[in-house]
Amino acid sequence: LADRLQADSQLPAVTTDNVRVTLLANSGLQADVLPGLKFGAEGIGLFRTEVPFMIRSSLPSEDDQEKIYRSLISHYKDKPVYFRTLDIGADKPLSYLPLVKEDNPALGWRGIRYILDNQPLLITQLRAFMKAAAGSEHVHLMLPMIASTEQLDQCLAILSEVHHQLLEEGVPVCRPKVGIMVEVPSCIALLPFWRDKLDFISIGTNDLSQYLLALDRNSPLVGKWYDSLHPAVLHELMRISTMAKKMNLPVSVCGEMASDPVAVMLLLGMGIQQLSMSAAKIPLIKWILRGVSRAQAELLLAEALEQDNATAIRQLGQQFLASKQ
Ligand code: PEP
Ligand code: MG
Tens digits of residue pLDDT in 212-271: 999 999 899 999 999 999 999 999 999 999 999 999 999 999 999 999 999 999 999 999
Residue nearest to atom 8 of ligand 1 (CA): 206
**Quick one: average pLDDT of 113-120?**
96
In this predicted structure, the answer to whether residue 305 has a pLDDT above a threshold of 80 is: yes
Ligand 1 neighbours (beta carbon < 6 A): 46, 48, 87, 183, 204-207, 254-255
| Mean of the per-residue pLDDT values of the chain | 95
For the entire predicted model, the pTM comes to 0.96
Mind listing the pLDDT tens digit for each residue in 125-170?
A: 999 999 999 999 899 999 999 999 999 999 999 999 999 999 999 9
Surrounding residues of ion ligand 2, Cβ less than 5 A:
183, 204, 207
Give the whole-angstrom CA distance, residue 198 versus residue 116.
19
Rounded distance between C-alpha atoms, residue 106 and residue 125, angstroms: 23
pLDDT(59) > 90: yes
Please give the average per-residue pLDDT across 177-198, as a whole number. 98
The rounded Å distance from CA 218 to ligand 1 centre is: 12
pLDDT at position 30 over 80: no
For residues 91-105, give the mean pLDDT. Answer: 85
- Return the C-alpha torsion angle 262, 263, 268, 271, nearest 10: 150
Does the pLDDT of residue 31 top 80, yes or no? no
Task: For residue 107, count CB atoms less than 10 angstroms from its CB and return exposed for 0-12, middle for 13-18, buried for 19 or more.
Answer: middle
ipTM over 0.90: yes
